[in-house]
A and B are shown apart, each in its own frame.
Chain A
């Protein structure tokens, strides 16, 4: 199954009952799949007039307490930031998927990871966070998509799954769980959804608090959820991490798979390198990364991204100057080849001369 279709089907299997969308490459297949599939399960499919409207349709739909989601790509996600901020402020569960393409601006339509900051550090206004998941295979996209709905419900907070264009376009074998595991929400049982003030006080879904003390309380309430996420939701994967590693690569999404190939090749040449792959980008696996990075055998930590060093800031935050940190990245829709990454690793492991160039200078300067 193609990644985009697998994501769509995963949402159906997770019990999603509403999907709102606006066409944008490279993820329009999700909408093309769901326009047929949603009616089969009695759900709602609606193509809105803009991503601004779609984000807010999602907001209205999420207020029913049912499982709802949207998918888009970078410029479209920018337009949804308004509704994302409002949904976070109003404690609403919703799932958003960003199949990232190169930016800024209209950018291009080829794969990129340059919306890391937007997803992980904010994007919209105010004191809020998204729970951010990053799959590296089509199967993982399915698993994380289903998990996204559970986490959105658990925290009553928007959850975003980010993948690059490759995840959306790639076809791999996938397995879906049995039908019986599907759970549909019963909005009438929730204690917050808007479903008619019958024999109870009216419920108001809102993010306006004119009294600053109330607004501060709401912000701390949100923060409590983010602290709980840090305790309970951190997910990551180690690949060939062991005491022989000289270097530790940190990479996520499809980029991490390219690094896997590099690690396998180096292994066959007798060079041991490990991979730390964050699966949750927020909460970031800071402690876990630090634990692996500070080990004595690790000389250098290399962050590899399809952007001009965005996740690098979280790697630096995790390691706090305790190890040398290097960066390699390509962006704008260019996917680093295994060979490029391999040369960078070799350059770091066997430095030709001890040039003391500052880290910053090297960033993003991957001259062809």
Chain B
């Protein structure tokens, strides 16, 4: 597979770093090269927090990516900051529960996911990050849904209720992507 870069961005506390880490662990599990790079420092205190995951079959060069192929934005400040830098032809996943605008860029795929609503319906708004992660996996096919499921089981194995809920929303996000964007071939 070609190199794929995805950035998750939002408020601190929205599970941004965790979403990226779950993806990174899943990539590693599939034997891919992975680099997970967080923003850190004062940015983490209240502003936008973000992390970038680079996944590739080959040796990864720069962990810093100017124009990622996909950016998932969880809040309005991230929408404003990251919307313009999605790679042309790329994917922009927008948490439409908290962002009530859409990008007027026509050179990428915009995918609206009501993350908070879906998580809340499932029983816990904190699972928004996993909804978005599921949507990303469905839309990009960078890693398999089963692999992320395995990763979640490892990380949440002891907390049965949490695991069950997260697995459910992961699948819902994934399914929404397939319904909205259609079945994609593996990259």
Contact = CB atoms under 8 A, between A and B. Distances in A.
On whether A and B touch (CB less than 8 Å), the answer reads yes
Interface stretch (A60-68, A121-129, A332-340, A345-353): A332-340
Contact of A166 (B28, B34, B37): B37
A338 B63 contact: no
Contacts of B24: 171
Contact of B62 (A25, A108, A173, A257): A257
A150 interface: no
A174 to B, nearest CB: 10
A172 B64 contact: no
A82 interface: no
Contact of A170 (B28, B37, B42, B61): B37
Interface in B15-37: 21, 24, 28, 33-37
Contacts of B61: 257-264, 338
A339 B66 CA distance: 8
A26 B40 CA distance: 8
Interface in B55-96: 59-64, 66
B41 interface: yes
Interface string A173-208: 100000000000000000000000000000000000
B10 interface: no
A169 interface: yes
Majority-rule SS of A interface residues: helix
Contact of B63 (A108, A257, A262, A263): A257
A166 B60 CA distance: 14
A260 B60 CA distance: 8
B38 interface: yes
A339 B62 CA distance: 11
A311 interface: no
A306 B60 CA distance: 19
A123 to B, nearest CB: 25
B143 to A, nearest CB: 14
A165 B64 CA distance: 12
Nearest to B27: A173
A261 B41 contact: no
Contacts of B42: 109
A110 interface: yes
A264 B59 CA distance: 11
Contact of B28 (A173, A254, A261, A263): A173
Contacts of B38: 169
Contacts of A264: 61
Contacts of B41: 25-26, 108-110
Contacts of A172: 33-36, 60
Among B21, B24, B59, B61, chain A packs the most CB atoms within 10 A around the CB of: B61
Interface residues of A, number: 25
Nearest to B60: A257
A171 B35 contact: yes
Contacts of B66: 337-339
Nearest to A174: B28
A254 B37 CA distance: 12
Nearest to B29: A173
B37 A258 contact: no
A339 B67 CA distance: 10
Given A110-B41, A173-B28, A166 B64 contact: yes
B70 to A, nearest CB: 18
A258 B62 contact: yes
Nearest to A335: B64
Contacts of A26: 40-41
Contacts of A173: 28, 33-34
A171 B36 contact: yes
Contacts of A110: 41
Contact of A258 (B21, B36, B64): B64
Contacts of B34: 171-173
Among B28, B33, B40, B60, chain A packs the most CB atoms within 10 A around the CB of: B40
Interface in A237-268: 254, 257-264
Contacts of A338: 61-62, 64, 66
A169 B63 CA distance: 11
B62 A165 contact: no
Among A165, A262, A263, A338, chain B packs the most CB atoms within 10 A around the CB of: A338
5 contacts: A109-B40, A170-B37, A171-B36, A172-B35, A257-B62
Given A260-B62, A339-B66, 18 more contacts: A25-B40, A26-B41, A108-B41, A109-B42, A165-B40, A169-B40, A170-B36, A171-B21, A171-B34, A172-B35, A172-B60, A257-B60, A258-B61, A258-B62, A260-B61, A261-B62, A263-B61, A264-B61
Q: Which 6 A-B pairs have the closest CB atoms?
A: A261-B61, A260-B61, A171-B36, A261-B62, A258-B62, A337-B66
